[in-house]
Amino acid sequence: GSRGSLELVNNLSQEWNRMMTGEQYSVPYRLTFPLQSPLPTIKSIAANGQVICTGRRP
């Protein structure tokens, strides 16, 4: 089954420009799941085999 998708809200060049300023900020993402119910629990987010974000259950 599909795992869903994670994509940047802003375009990549906008985010690169913000990163180059050295300012600390959050990068907004849109997370889409294939099913609406029940919603899955996100344990981690990985890109290219490297974990970039982990969390715990609320």
Tens of each residue's pLDDT in the chain, 58 residues: 567 888 889 888 988 888 888 777 788 888 888 877 887 777 888 888 899 888 776 5
Q: What is the pLDDT of residue 47?
A: 80
Q: Which residues contact 40 (CB under 8 A, 6 or more apart)?
A: 4, 33
pLDDT of residue 25: 76
Q: Tell me how far apart the alpha carbons of residues 13 and 11 are, in angstroms, rounded to a whole number.
A: 6
Per domain, the residue ranges of the chain are 5-54
- For residues 46 and 56, give the distance between their C-alpha atoms in angstroms, rounded to a whole number: 15
What is the predicted pLDDT for the residue at 57?
A: 63
Q: What is the pLDDT of residue 58?
A: 58
**Which residues are 7's β-sheet partners?**
30
